[in-house]
Amino acid sequence: MTIHTPIPRPDRRPLTIRLATPRGFCAGVDRAIQIVERALEKFGAPVYVRHEIVHNRHVVERLKAMGAVFVRELDECPDDRPVVFSAHGVPKSVPAGARARDLFFLDATCPLVSKVHVEAERHHAAGRHIILIGHTGHPEVVGTMGQLPPGAISLVETVSDAEAFQRPGDAALAYATQTTLSVDDTAEILAVLKRRFPELPDPHKEDICYATTNRQEAVKRLGEGCDLVLVVGSKNSSNSARLVEVAMRAGARDARLVDDAGHVDWAWFDGVSTVGVTAGASAPEPLIAALVDAIADRFDATVVEDAGERETVTFKLPRALTD
């Protein structure tokens, strides 16, 4: 969606709005939302979705209005309606339970999360104990840990966790990461683990997904030159929350997470001459455009789009929706 050029308002205080590039939807989120939309088109309503398809309130509400029914567990789903698993991935027990009931299901797990699952299984098959760097209780972490038997994975959330981790017996070690972490925080944790366990492989650039990395690099550029950075995203969005932290570390005087333009406190703009605007990977572009419009209504605004990584990644939809 194109951001409208603001109307000049010489009677108001000048303000520069810097837009991060990239921002908003990533390929995995776009695919997951399309799976629910296509399922509704093909099979009609209702289509059941286990957990929020992505962590954005506006996306979930829009899909509810189209006929999607969001549930916590499969026992809330009838036998005769399609079920979609969220983009964050699910434990192996979930598709196994669906098959036991002969449910028709569509897996909207992001392919980059599925890649982490495959890597974890490969390490386990090779006899390695896996250290998973991630946030306790996050659906992606629950899904990854649920790929393997209990005890096969140890969760490490902080540098202090990394210092305290104890190798189980003499087991060989490997690691995996949640895809939406802070790149810098993860590097600090890995540095501790590598110091303590030098046999761990060097980190790979692709361990944290391309979209998370690109959005964090873009918000670093905003933080270096903005008085205030606004991140459009829901509170339960891990990657959106990380963008706020990254902006502050990069030098922004203030950074805030907002669900939409209606959640802006205009007192934040006191003394601000440059505001940066970005969005988490699950935030739709219309929310960003509406925020820019709301700012432009109150200031003599100039919009500048930052140079950044132009993403062209796409992921295929399940064959059941394209045949």
Domain final residue, candidates 52, 76, 107:
107
Token pair in block for residue 278: 């970005």
Share of the chain above pLDDT 90, in %: 92
296 and 224, same structural domain?
yes
234 within a domain of the structure (yes/no): yes
Q: What is the pLDDT of residue 21?
A: 96
**Model confidence, pTM:** 0.94
> Percent of the chain having pLDDT more than 70?
98
**Same domain, yes or no, for 266 and 217?**
yes
Within 8 A by CB and 6+ apart from 153, the residues are 120, 129, 130, 131, 132, 144, 145
Question: Does 52 share its domain with 87?
Answer: yes
Distance CA 221, CA 18 (A): 10
Domain assignment present for 317? no
Mean pLDDT, the chain, as a whole number?
95
218 and 198 in one domain?
no
Q: Is residue 7 part of a domain?
A: no
The residue with greater pLDDT, 2 or 113, is 113
Residue 89 per-residue DSSP state: -
Average pLDDT over residues 265-270: 98
Q: What is the pLDDT of residue 27?
A: 96
Q: Which of 207, 240, 264 is a domain's end point? A: 207
Q: Confirm whether 89 is domain-assigned.
A: yes
Binning pLDDT at 50, 70 and 90, where does residue 261 land? very high
Number of domains in the chain: 3
- 276-303: average pLDDT: 96
- Could you tell me if residue 287 is inside a domain? yes
Given a cut of 60, is residue 274 above it in pLDDT?
Answer: yes
97 in the same domain as 157: no
Q: What's the CA gap between 287 and 24, in Å, rounded? A: 9
CA dihedral defined by 77, 78, 80, 82, rounded to 10 degrees?
Answer: -10
pLDDT number for residue 4: 66
Contact 282, 239 (CB under 8 A): yes
Q: Is residue 310 part of a domain?
A: no
Instruction: Assess whether 198 and 235 both reside in one domain.
Output: no
Give the CATH number for residue 101.
3.40.50.11270
**What is the pLDDT at residue 204?**
63
Quick one: pLDDT at residue 311?
A: 93
The pLDDT confidence band at residue 9, using thresholds 50, 70 and 90, is confident
Q: Cα separation of 269 and 18, whole Å?
A: 14
- Let me know whether 286 and 200 are in one domain: no
Q: Which of 296, 184, 315, 301 is nearest to 249 (CA)?
A: 184
- In this structure, the answer to whether residues 139 and 78 fall within a common structural domain is no
C-alpha 146/C-alpha 243 separation (Å) is: 27
Q: What is the pLDDT of residue 207?
A: 66
Last residue of a domain, one of 157, 190, 207: 207
- DSSP designation for 8: P
Q: Quick one: 230 and 203 in the same domain?
A: no
Q: Which domain holds residue 93?
A: 27-107
Q: Let me know if residue 313 belongs to a domain.
A: no
Q: What is the pLDDT of residues 16-75, one digit of tens each?
A: 999 999 999 999 999 999 999 999 999 999 999 999 999 999 999 999 999 999 999 999
Dihedral (CA of 244, 246, 252, 253) sign: positive
pLDDT in tens, 166-194: 999 999 999 999 999 999 999 999 999 99
State pLDDT tens for residues 83-123. 999 999 999 999 999 999 999 999 999 999 999 999 999 99
Confidence of residue 7 (pLDDT cuts 50, 70, 90): confident
CATH code for position 272: 3.40.1010.20
> At residue 120, what is the residue type?
A
Q: Both 124 and 152 in a single domain?
A: yes
Clarify whether residues 129 and 48 are in a common domain: no
Q: 285 in a domain, yes or no?
A: yes
Q: Which residues carry out catalysis?
A: 140
Same domain, 19 and 36: no
Res 203 pLDDT > 90: no
Cβ within 8 Å of residue 116, ≥6 positions away:
144, 176, 177, 179
- When pLDDT is averaged across residues 239-265 and rounded to a whole number, the result is 97
* Residues found in the chain: 323
